[in-house]
Amino acid sequence: MALYGCEKSPTASQDASGDLVVRIGASAPLTGPQAHLGKDNENGTRMAIDDANAKGIMIGGRKAHFELISEDDQADPKTATIVAQKLVDDKVNGVIGHLNSGTTIPAAKIYSDNGIPQISPSATAVAYTAQGFKTAFRVMANDAQQGHVLGEYATKNLGAKRIAVIDDRTAYGQGLADQFIKSAEANGAKIVAHEYTTDKAMDFTAVLTAVKGKKPDLLFYGGMDAQSGPMVKQLKALALKTKFMTGDGGYTPEFIRLAGDAAEGSYASLPGVPLDKMPGGKAFAERFSAKYGPIQLYAPYCYDAVNVMIAAMQKAGSADPAKYLPSLADITYDGVTAKIQFDAKGDLKGGAVTLYQVQHGKWQPLETLGVAKAAN
């Protein structure tokens, strides 16, 4: 059996100038109702990559050149697995994605099978990191933490006794709603209705009318802004006077734009502390807005995810997935959204959750909770 000469790592290639080419895969819905969020993710990722290229980062003594390969997963779990396979075939060194929990969970298996590290900026479903894959990480607190905080806030701070829940039946919406219900019931509230919609619906009058019959004092929605915005508007049109609360999927300027005046007083949560309270957060927001317009939602998390990945490559002195994966697992990195450290499952350690309310047409932070609580 003949032995061939020194074999190059299959995923590290070099361009004409002899630079090390590092391919970063990214995937989010770039079409459909969540396209504005997907584009926001892509922009956050692209900005981190442009920054890294401008800085002239060295990995293992060689100048690295980063390339972005961005794919549209349409927020659809089936498409996400196809996209994941395509990124694997393109020999990416790491993946930033996906945006939704529903797409991140099935895609994670493909990345894991091929040993490619994956950092999701925004998938919050508990199930994502519970699959036991060594390659799966996230830079945002999970729904167990978020749902817990939301449930507690709804009952203790807002005094809700009769709560109605609507979710969009996606891995994210359903997961968050279930965690919320668990926490709200533990705090003595009664769930008077649990109704469902889809992540493509725009008519909620029938569901809201059914909810109205149960006379709730708070309505919780598990899902994204493309639904929660119009939902709040229709809520007001039906003269349904309840408090409205949703998770991170609703904490966007888009929510306020779609809901109009009806947005006033709505509550939402976002894992992490408010961006302008983070060192470097404000500067990031200004730089990002100047280039791409206002931050929708997860762009800062994408920016951090890329930088954490690059930091791990630098630490390991290699962009080879097998070599930098261990250093990614025990990294400590000061990002613009949080101090990033992963636990054994790949969840963010000690994730905080901040509650926001729409006041005078803008999201205003109310309170940051659960800072010290370990991820579970």
Partner 1 sequence: MDIFLQQIINGLVQGSVYALVALGYTMVYGILGLINFAHGEVVMIGAMLALSSLKVLLGLGASPLLALPISVALAMLGCMLLGYGIERIAYRPLRHAPRLAPLITAIGVSIVLQNLAMMIWGREYHAFPQLITNTPHNVGGAIINNIQITIFILALAIMAGLMAVVHRTRLGRAMRAVAENQHAAQLMGVNINRVISITFMLGSGLAAIAGVMVSANYGLAHYYMGFILGLKAFTAAVLGGIGNLRGAMLGGLLLGLIESLGAGYVGGLTGGFFGSNYQDVFAFFVLIAVLVFRPSGLLGERLAERA
Site for partner 1 in 288-317 (CB under 8 A): none
What is the residue-wise DSSP string for 40-80? Answer: HHHHHHHHHHHHHHHHT-EETTEEEEEEEEEEE-TT-HHHH
Segment holding 284, helix H or strand E: helix 281-292
- For residues 56 to 95, the per-residue mask of contacts with partner 1, x marking binding by CB under 8 A and - elsewhere, is ----------------------------------------
Pick one of 73, 178, 248, 254: the residue that binds partner 1 (CB under 8 A).
254
Site stretch for partner 1 (CB under 8 A), options 8-16, 73-81, 90-98, 206-214: 206-214
Q: Does 178 bind partner 1 (CB under 8 A)?
A: no
Q: Is 293 left (phi over 0), alpha (psi -120 to 50) or beta?
A: left
Instruction: Answer whether 262's CB lies under 8 Å from 256's CB.
Output: no
**Alpha-carbon span 120 to 111, nearest angstrom:** 12
Q: Does 198 bind partner 1 (CB under 8 A)?
A: yes
Smallest distance from partner 1 to CB 230, Å: 5
Q: Does 194 bind partner 1 (CB under 8 A)?
A: yes
Residue 56 phi, psi dihedral angles, 5° rounding: 70, 60
Pick one of 14, 31, 157, 364: the residue that binds partner 1 (CB under 8 A).
31
Instruction: Answer whether 218's CB lies under 8 Å from 242's CB.
Output: yes
Residue (260 or 350) nearer to partner 1, CB: 260
| Nearest CA among 232, 265, 271 for reference residue 249 | 271
Q: Does 162 bind partner 1 (CB under 8 A)?
A: no
- C-alpha dihedral (7, 13, 14, 15), degrees to nearest 10: 130
Site stretch for partner 1 (CB under 8 A), options 143-151, 193-201, 304-312, 326-334: 193-201
Residue (14 or 198) nearer to partner 1, CB: 198
**Alpha-carbon span 97 to 348, nearest angstrom:** 15
**Alpha-carbon span 176 to 223, nearest angstrom:** 8
Pick one of 148, 212, 243, 345: the residue that binds partner 1 (CB under 8 A).
212
- Residue 289 has a CB neighbour count (10 Å cut-off) of 12
Residue (257 or 339) nearer to partner 1, CB: 257
- For residues 222 to 241, the per-residue mask of contacts with partner 1, x marking binding by CB under 8 A and - elsewhere, is ----x--xx--xx-xxxx--
Q: Does 164 bind partner 1 (CB under 8 A)?
A: no
Q: Does 36 bind partner 1 (CB under 8 A)?
A: yes
Question: Footprint of partner 1 on this chain (CB under 8 A)?
Answer: 30-33, 35-36, 39, 169, 194-198, 200, 202-203, 205-207, 209-210, 212-213, 226, 229-230, 233-234, 236-239, 254, 257-258, 260
